[in-house]
Amino acid sequence: MLYFFDPRLLLFILPGLLLGMWAQARIRSAYARASQIRSRRGLTGAATAAAIMDYEGVSGVSVEPTPGFLSDHYHPLLHKLRLSEEVYGGNSLAAVGIAGHEVGHAIQHARRYVPMYLRSALVPLCTAGSILGQLALGFGVFLAFAGFALGKWMLLAGIAGFMVVFLFSIVTLPVEFNASKRALAILTNRGLIDAEEVPAVKGVLDAAALTYVASAVSILGTLLQLVFLFNRSRD
């Protein structure tokens, strides 16, 4: 049934898969360690977010708890900073670091940081591209290797779609790195964390950034899979 499978596909699948597993293990490990260290200032994630926005003159952004583990995010359209319950009410260095990172996105929005606006503009195209890519992998491959011309067109559409998804993942990298850089600088310069607390906070931020690198590698692997399968279907 899998007559179109080629062991060489593993060259595209494994790097992203293994890097993703390592990145997830690292973020969980860094989060677990930093979660055991209380902030010397006694700041919760919510208080950290409020303090940074006050210092940076960011207004009109509400901070609210949201369910889920590491579900923290900033919603630019709604001007809402949503922190997971552990981060929102927790006073660990993990909570302080993650809250700082998410406020970094709110600052980017307020300062009109170009990569963030570009990423937001790519969201609808990325969603459509991801759907095209999944359809290509799910149906296009089978149809193409069964000799149907439609299958090859689906693979081409999937390739185009995942090119957009990959572009989105690349644009995401500077957005995330910049948010972490802003967070660490503000937390340090404003005295919200001491010098001794910096390594734990930085460990969480660096591990979180690695997950986005792993995601980009995984998406590139999927794109290369589609290109490889399209070329094979033409043989």
CA 7 to chain centre: 29
Q: What is the 3-state secondary structure (H, E, C) of the chain?
A: CCCCCCHHHHHHHHHHHHHHHHHHHHHHHHHHHHHCCECCCCCCHHHHHHHHHHHHCCCCCEEEEECCCCCCEEECCCCEEEEEHHHHHCCEHHHHHHHHHHHHHHHHHHCCCHHHHHHHHHHHHHHHHHHHHHHHHHHHHHHHHCCCHHHHHHHHHHHHHHHHHHHHHHHHHHHHHHHHHHHHHHHHHCCCCCHHHHHHHHHHHHHHHHHHHHHHHHHHHHHHHHHHHHHHHCC
Q: Would residue 102 show up in a list of annotated catalytic residues for this protein?
A: yes
56, 64, 86, 102: which one is catalytic?
102
Q: Which residue has the tokens 């300062």?
A: 111
Distance from first CA to last CA of the chain, Å, rounded?
18
Q: In terms of residues, how long is the chain?
A: 235
What Rg do the C-alpha atoms of the chain give, in angstroms? 21
Catalytic residue list? 102
